[in-house]
Structure formats: structure tokens, C-alpha cells
Amino acid sequence: MCSPTVIPSKPRLPLPSPLKCIQINLRHSKTASASLAQVMLDLDIDIALVQETYASGTSSPVVNNAPPGFSSFHQLSELHAYGSCILVRDSVSKTGKLTTKHL
């Protein structure tokens, strides 16, 4: 009589919590930018992919209305003040779920 073969199970790693993302075109609107910041906080969004962001400054544009606790990543410049940016919750990048690499 054969005994069943028992295959040892591997320990299961906990599943990472899903990231909440949003994508939006702000059409360079200051009001839409402020609204996005509030929506991100209300809905607990982790990452926002933003096209036609609202930025200020001429020599080194700054993305306005980023919610507290978020970092912005962009390549806006004096010659190209309008473009895209990514807003990332600081705690997401610190937990190792996301790494950044400058090109």
C-alpha cells in the first residue's frame, strides 16, 4: 500500500495592498488642480497621473496644489512649462512599492 506524498507548502507572503490611482487632464486650470488635491485626499488616492498640469514659475516651474504628503515628478522647464506630472504619496515610495529613477 502506498502512502500519499505530502508536498510541503511554501509560506505564503501577504498580498500587497492595491494602489489607488487616478488619471486626469487639468487643462492648465488652477481650480481643477485644487479640486484634484481634495479628491485625492477624500478618496485616499496613492498615485495621480496628471496631463496639462497647472504650474507656476518661469525659470523652474512648480506644480501647484499638490496635496500634503505627496511628491511631484515632472520634467517641466522654462521652455516647456506645460506638460505632465505624476503625484505620488510619500508613504508609497518609502515602503518600497515604488522606486524613482531620474532619466
Whole-structure pTM value: 0.72
Q: What cell does 43 get?
A: 478618496
For range 62-73, the mean pLDDT:
87
DSSP 56: E
The pLDDT score that the predictor gives to residue 28 is 84
Of residues 2, 4, 83, 10, the one with CA closest to residue 49: 83
Q: Is the pLDDT of residue 66 over 80?
A: yes
The pLDDT score that the predictor gives to residue 103 is 42
The pLDDT score that the predictor gives to residue 64 is 80
Q: What is the rounded distance in angstroms from the CA atom of residue 27 to the CA atom of residue 13?
A: 42
For range 45-57, the mean pLDDT:
87
For range 76-101, the mean pLDDT:
76
Q: Is the pLDDT of residue 38 over 90?
A: yes
Strand partners, 51: 25
For range 82-97, the mean pLDDT:
81
